[in-house]
Chain A
Amino acid sequence: MGELLRSEEMTLAQLFLQSEAAYCCVSELGEIGMVQFRDLNPDVNVFQRKFVNEVRRCEEMDRKLRFVEKEIKKANIDIVDTGENPEVPFPRDMIDLEATFEKLENELKEINTNQEALKKNFLELTELKHILRRTQQFFDEMEDPSLLEESSILLEPSEVNRAPLRLGFVAGVIGRERIPTFERMLWRVCRGNVFLRQAEIEDPLEDPTTSDQVHKSVFIIFFQGDQLKNRVKKICEGFRATLYPCPETPQERKEMLAGVNARIDDLQMVLNQTEDHRQRVLQAAAKTVRVWFIKVRKMKAIYHTLNLCNIDVTQKCLIAEVWCPVCDLDSIQFALRRGTEKSGSTVPSILNRMQTKQTPPTYNKTNKFTSGFQNIVDAYGIGSYREINPAPYTIITFPFLFAVMFGDLGHGILMTCAALYLVLRETRLIAQKNDNEMFSMVFAGRYIILLMGIFSIYTGIIYNDCFSKSINVFGSGWSVRPMFDPKVGGNWTFDMLNGSRILQLDPAVDGVFKGPYPIGIDPIWNIASNKLTFLNSFKMKMSVILGVIHMLFGVTLSLFNHLYFQKPINIYLGFIPEIVFMACLFGYLVIIIFYKWVSYNARTSREAPSLLIAFINMFLFQYRDPTVKRLYTGQPVLQSFLVIIALACVPCMLIVKTLVLRRQHMWRKHLGTQNFGGVRVGNGPTEDEAEIIQHDQLAQQSEDEPEFNFADEAVHQAIHTIEYCLGCISNTASYLRLWALSLAHAQLSEVLWSMVMRIGLARRSLGGFFLLSITFFFFSILTVAILLIMEGLSAFLHALRLHWVEFQNKFYSGQGFKFLPFTFESILEGRSEE
């Protein structure tokens, strides 16, 4: 856990990679994932870099693989994921890979085009088959003698001299949804002079290009004359109907149908074989496509990284600058050696540490338990380099503050069980690779949820709340019997019981209150009518106590920051006034809360003064009012003293610090410095004090220290002071949300019990069990949905706020940037980079 207190110590280092070994070295560094490469040629655009050709080739391979993957997914074949981590292929193997992918892609494309052509052919034949069948029906109907007769009668008188009536026809297939408009159009354009017959094809046909199932209809149009024929054909074209030649005589039609059927059978066989072949190819590809993906993406990542390096003048080696944690330097060296060996190079790669004034990135080493908490902190802001990291304290305080708001034994147990399931089945659930966003979010926070659940059980025991019911284990400390006993001062009678609805127990009567419950709140309060009055007072005080302790702890942590960064002024004129200010006002409040709890008993509690009034009077210096009782003798003197000390702290922070800073700056300026060829040396009064202030040669992009600006500094300090002093008050008030949310949670669970569970329980008949099991079902669903998830989320949010705002602004600046090592991990998990 030691490494969690502060971020890792980082160093800037130069890597000299022999050009032939560079690829292997970078691949080894990617496997260990501990170095962050800096871009050494930021002005060079992407297309002018050295390895742009290789990156392009990798991208091309990636594209081909994506195409194959798409085809595999389309064919509903599972991609085999063995979870293995293939080694990075050598650059010389790239050609082999390229050839393999090229071949695979071409083969697939060829199969696809062939299949498409075959399918199109097949579709045409099927349509033709349907046309032939249907038209046969139409013609059969036409030859119906009764119809013929009728027409001959009609035609007879005028048709004597003319040639026999010759009706032309076209037959085709059209999408079923187009039929009504098609019909109307034909009617209008040909003025009703054509005759359309249509029939639906029952089974859907497959569209060869989109492979969708489409419903189609067969139609046949009869008309007379060439002009009409042209019109009809144009309309058919416009409606994308496919026309097929249809022989006129039944004999020909029959022959054609037989021919078509034979061809369909042949085609079907060829189609099946093609499909089989395609499946075989895809299945073979599905076995290795993941490994190929990883290999290609790793190569691409390596070339991207090599593009960040500088090329030496002699072209013999690549120079890279990397950030790396100091404690991992050994393993980095080792990885470099491995890389050199693998490439067969004889010249070792060199790692050279550099001095720099640049701020290194922040790197917190985490494991699966701490990473969740570190994420909570990082979501607010990445810590500045080597700053105190709030994460280790968050591990305890976060679940605790959550549980204060979520205090219920039953809900806590449910939450713990759910989290335990996630934790115990961890490996199996990771292997399942659930893509659900909600689930993966909850899964990432499983240890947080587990701790939240356990702490909720604890606070539930303290509040003595289990699904809004109390559990009486040790026996309540309150007793009603002595109230009826006049000997000890009891004044109740049985007549009184009949007359009044609510009676109040008097703890001053002997034997009524036998002492506090051993752990938590006495269960008797659960059925008392003044339960809320009691609990509110208790929970409010508790929130203030927890809040003040939490904030004082935050201010104390700032001391360690100042000590570490060696800023004595910040300790004497920052930390000390801050903590004195807070301790004098709110620390004192906490102390008198405890004092009041301890020093008054059941008999004297009537005389106890109100803390709120006492605290307000403390600021107003008002002690004359005789009706306000004192907590202890000497209260006015001590309180006035504390207020004055607290107020005296404000100018310390506000003005004195600025003035001291200014003096220091002036002193440094008067010393004067000299610049000896890039090395700046201060010439102090004596030779010993001469110090090297600035060393230009090593730090390439050294930034000058910001100039001291008195006005800026004064404004900044004023803002900080005002923020802190007002913040003390508002933040303390903000911690009252602990009380408010725990009250809301308790009330909500009570409402749920009385509105849902009681319906099932309070039945006089024996049949009530049926209703009870139904109401329990709803009770459980509502408990999970409203109390666990909704209320849990709201308590989580408030706990988050208390940490980010009230706790962390006391010491955490969060202005660092994250250490992003070059690693293959994300490639392994199947996420593509960028």
Chain B
Amino acid sequence: MFSISKKINDWIEERLMLEDLPFFKTPDYMYKVNYWLGALVAGSFMYAVISGLLLLLYYEPSAGYTSTISIIDSIPYGSVVLYSHLYAAYAMIILAYTHMFYNYFHGAYKRPRELLWIIGVILLVLTLSASFMGYSLIGDVLAVSAVDVGAGIVSGLGLGFLNPILFGAYDSGDFTRVLALHIILVALIGLFFVLHFFLAESYGMMPSRKVKPKAPAVYTKEEWSKFNAWWPRNFVYMSSLIFLTWGFILAIPNALAYLSGYPTYLNPFLNPHPAPSPSSPAAMSVTAYPPWFFLFLFKIADFTSSYLIMVLIGAIIPLLWFILVPFIDRSAELDPMKRKVAVGVGLVFLTYFIQTTIWGAIAPAVPAKLSQLVLVFLPPPILIGLGLAFIKPRGTSPKSGTSPMISAAIFSALTLLFIGAFSMFSQYPSVLTAGAVIPLGILFALAGTKKVLNADQPSNSLPSTVTSIDVNKVNTKVKLAEIMIAILLIVSIALVAALWTIPPTGFLSNLFGIDLGIVFIMLGEAISLYHYVVYVAGKQSSTS
């Protein structure tokens, strides 16, 4: 069965000279999704570009909202393309954050990848900006209020003269300028992506720390030459990932289009439908909220009345940190436990981001008092700081004592109790509150100096797994995979046949997106199984 495919492979390889591609050769252990998060981001980006170009054929920016509605209601499969375009952007943002934090905690910003990292951070900013502009193009009451907020921030920073340049006459329903900027920003993403991609290819993917424990973590020429060539294995593996990504991008929003009745705070996350027109009476009853990826910034606006402080906290400080981290954390260590400051800051940013996003969803535009900010934002850095302080890197000599996890947890509980008691005392000074705060303070101080909690490290040794490959087992697995591939392909064909029975417009048209999405997911899965059969199992049986 696979000899034909080999022939096809060889034919393509020869004609396109794929062997000479300057792409990074890949070691076997890297065929796991966590090494390919960047490819997933790129896949979502490609989908967004393709669907965006399709939408561009029909979207009329001078009549933003009417045009959006006509794409949904009267253009064949218009809503399918529009909703999946929105979710491609969502997927791209989520995956970009995942990709960034994954590499951050792995120390991938270290030598020699500093520039690669910085371009990545720039790409994140561009992605968020392009998404904001794209979200605004919907032209509904939410989009207009989102631009209002954006324009308000620009004016608040004393840059009000930029508003007509940035947003044009959006408040009269004309989104020409917004569309132009959306496309310009996407083009910039493409440009920086090419740079990012070729830099990534030239350094290669970040090797496992077991192989390269210190920076610079790159394979030498000799090591590199022994790995799998880009064609055909990487191509196959990547195809499966891209089909899966596209499948989910298509299936999820089109399925969500049929969902209703969830609480309103889930609206920013779950609702692909546009809100009412800003000029309709129904707009009066809509609570303004930004797209979910800016909920955190929206909430920060409730912390302070100064736009400058808001932008500092919400954007400039985190961005500066991420851009400068390669120059701050300069040691050769890649083990997260040996670069605790960088890891700690990253974890705190991540926690704060999740917290403020949720806060923005459940209590939008409710001003937060300083005491509430302290209550919300003090525990995470304390917990993270303590956790990191008590966890030792691998390879430190084991000593007897309390498990560090337990010590950390007890210490954290003690800290929280102390903070609680202290804030109580500061607001209601009395004998009772003083009686609570003093002993807790003493315990806290003692624990801090490790006199109470003798925390230490248990043994780190893990049983090393000795893998002996059973040829029979592999053969059974291969058989199973082949059957699965056949089933997936047959079901896919049936689903593709069913596609043409779905009406191109109207209520049922989103089934097209669900159907096509499932087909893509099945194809992705089939290709992934093919990859296993040909490369993984094939290699195992040949080495045993």
Q: Do A and B bind each other?
A: no
